[in-house]
Amino acid sequence: MKLNDRGLLVVISGPSGVGKGTVRKALFSMNNHDLVYSVSMTTRKPREGEVDGKDYYFVSKEEFLQRIEGKQFLEYAEFVGNYYGTPLDKVEEQLDQGHEVVLEIEVEGALQVREKAKDAVFIFIAPPSKKALYDRLKKRGTESDEVILSRMQKADREFMLAHKYDYIVVNDDVNNAADRIMAIIRAEHAKTERTIHTYMKLLKEV
């Protein structure tokens, strides 16, 4: 339970191709709660249609390494040849303002956050089956067969770490998965002291 009135940090993670990005977008499209998405920084090149500052902050490897040196990331990881990291200052700023901040990151980075942010909520997105994960990677069509195989092997290792998370949400259907995540955030929010304070204040007013 959180003991102050800072926002809640929500970490959504899981294997590549499980549908993290898709579910996160569904979550934000139904957002009637005070959720803010933490835009990550990366050294990967923008894909067509991606906007700097919205999808990612796109930076050079030199700049990323300097920022690691300057301890400017809450967490970072190297993922298939590129760096990805969560800018610490932005997350802190939003949490201080009382917003719930959502990170959508891969497993190694999530476990770094687990060590640092004891009161964050960790959600592992799992596929309904290994076959479904393979089919999704294949269908997305962004990786070669060789890369898909290495991601499947990586996923096997990541499944072994799912028990380190607070919740496992199976992404069978995108909207169902987003609904379940929203229910988790609401329930965790309801446990926070600030919610209880607000309620007690209300009781005094009536």
Ligand X SMILES: Nc1nc2c(ncn2[C@@H]2O[C@H](COP(=O)(O)OP(=O)(O)O)[C@@H](O)[C@H]2O)c(=O)[nH]1
Ligand Y SMILES: Nc1ncnc2c1ncn2[C@@H]1O[C@H](COP(=O)(O)OP(=O)(O)O)[C@@H](O)[C@H]1O
Give me 57's structure tokens.
């902050």
CA separation for the pair 199, 108 (Å, rounded): 38
What number of helices (H) and strands (E) belong to the chain? 8, 9
Of the candidate residues 11, 26, 75, 136, the single one contacting ligand X (CB under 6 A)? 75
Site residues for ligand Y per CB under 6 A:
16-22, 136, 139-140, 171, 173-174
CA separation for the pair 192, 177 (Å, rounded): 23
- Pick between residue 20 and residue 189 the one whose CB is nearest to ligand Y: 20
CB of 87 to ligand X, least distance (A): 8
Interactions with ligand X, residue window 7-66 (CB under 6 A): 16, 20-21, 40, 44
13 assigned to a ligand binding site: no
Helix (H) or strand (E) holding 73: strand 73-79
- Pick between residue 53 and residue 203 the one whose CB is nearest to ligand X: 53
29 assigned to a ligand binding site: no
Could you give the angle at the alpha carbon of 76 between the alpha carbons of 61 and 160, nearest 5°? 135
Of the candidate residues 11, 23, 102, 104, the single one contacting ligand X (CB under 6 A)? 104
- Pick between residue 79 and residue 167 the one whose CB is nearest to ligand X: 79
Q: Which of 24, 17, 12, 19 minimizes the C-alpha distance to 172?
A: 19
16 assigned to a ligand binding site: yes
Binding residues: 14-21
